Structure 1
């Protein structure tokens, strides 16, 4: 003789679904556990004091000053700083040109720079070429990372040193132009 027996949660769900409404409410009341905790309202100053006391007991996150500097996070910081610096220079010049186009046109800029001492020209070119070269080459490195290249620790360090070396060569090349 064969008997059929339902296996799984379906029979239990069917029982609850097709039970009379009163029985379903009784089941729900039995399942829900009531808390025995009493709450009380606090004035905002007391709540702030409790929160400040809890914050004093929390451990503080490690700060980057306790870690040994690593090429990866120094490169990330340098990439952000060079990008922000180049953006500020670009937008600053563009706004200056919009405000006073007679002063910041090409002829005036070239004549002004032509009158500067040679050492100041090279210093200015270096200050502009270094961040430009680094940010551009590090952008190519990030594109390689997006293409899943150099993602290992060894690859990240070798590409970082390659970017630093290429930045030095590119900066010298741009300054000597």
Structure 2
């Protein structure tokens, strides 16, 4: 019987409300926010979403960038040359797959024979157009690897100097590849 009395006393103490808690709860200013909802048809919901989308900012246009910033040039051209390679690969691959159905001759012998009939200047120009993106992408990729591994060369003067070096060397090497090979 004494154990049941001890348990009952413990339960009563736990169940007794705290005077500190109730006083604090009554004096603390509480905010009450009621949620207002309304039923919408799917068409009404879509029209509300369309109005909200019109208020969102549009992604920035290229005109907001400062053209005088030196890092803008070689970095964006790295991406352009990569896209050039990817696009060329896709166009040639799809053309090679469609060629038998369309009656085109994209075999190596046909392309070499057609290229041999072109004048030397046109051949050289065509090779420059193909060689320059490759050379620029390679040289600029090495620059990016050096920047990533050494964390040096990030002063504006150094960036500008490296950019001139990359543009000049890629032009010279591309011309050499086009007209000497």
Please indicate, yes or no, whether the TM-score normalized by the shorter chain is above 0.5: yes
- Name whichever of 135-144 and 113-122 sits farther off: 113-122
Superposed displacement of residue 161, structure 1 = 2.0
* CA deviation map 1:75-112 (0-9, x unaligned): 33322221122234346556739x77x9624x554443
User: Residue 54 in 1 paired to residue 52 in 2?
Assistant: yes
Q: Which residue of 1 aligns with 2:117?
A: 115
Map of 2:176 onto structure 1: 173
Contact 2:70 2:156 in 1 (8 A): no
- Unaligned stretches of 5+ in structure 1? 1-18
The reply on whether 1:145 has 2:147 as its aligned counterpart is yes
Structure 2 length normalisation: TM-score?
A: 0.63
Gaps of at least 5 residues in structure 2 are 1-12
What TM-score do you get using the length of structure 1 for normalisation?
0.64
C-alpha distance after superposition, 1:110-165 (max 9, x if no partner): 44322221121111111111111111111111111211232343333332222111
- How much is the aligned-residue C-alpha RMSD, in angstroms? 3.7
Between 1:115-124 and 1:152-161, the stretch displaced more is: 152-161
1:42 aligns with 2:40: yes
Distance 1:46 1:74, change over 3 A: farther
Q: Distance in 2 between matches of 1:153 and 1:22?
A: 72
Once the two structures are superposed, residues 39-79 of structure 1 have per-residue CA deviations (whole angstroms, 9 ceiling, x without a partner) of 22322222233333333344445422243324433433322
Distance 1:142 1:68 in 2: 21
Query: In the aligned structure 2, how far is the partner of 1:111 from the partner of 1:136?
Result: 29
CA distance in 2, matches of 1:43, 1:170: 65
Whose relative contact order is higher, 1 or 2, with alpha carbons under 8 Å and at least 6 apart? 2
- Between Structure 1 and Structure 2, the one with more helix by share is 2
Larger Rg: 2
Matched, 1:64 2:58: no
2:128 alignment partner in structure 1: 126
In 1, distance between residues paired with 2:16 and 2:172? 83
| Mapped pair 1:104 → 2:103 | no
